[in-house]
Amino acid sequence: MDLIQQLLLLSEKLYSTLEKLAEDHDNQREEQIELVNKLLDARGQTIDQLLVLSNHPLKDHQHENRLQQLNTEIINRLHSWKSEVVIDMKQLQVSMKSEERYVNPYSALQNRDGTYFDGRK
Confidence of residue 109 (pLDDT cuts 50, 70, 90): low
- In the chain, pLDDT over 90 holds for what percent of residues? 28
CA atoms within 13 A on the CB side of 71: 12
Q: For the residues 63-75, what does the mean pLDDT come to?
A: 89
The string of pLDDT tens digits covering residues 10-28 is 999 999 988 887 666 566 7
Task: Please state the pTM of the whole predicted model.
Answer: 0.71
pLDDT of residue 69: 92
Confidence of residue 52 (pLDDT cuts 50, 70, 90): confident
Among 6, 5, 17, 2, which Cα is nearest to 73's? 17
Give the Cα separation of 43 and 48 in Å (integer).
Answer: 9
Residue 90 has pLDDT above 90, yes or no: yes
Average per-residue pLDDT in the chain? 82
Lowest mean pLDDT among 45-49, 51-55, 84-88: 51-55
Residue 38 has pLDDT above 90, yes or no: yes
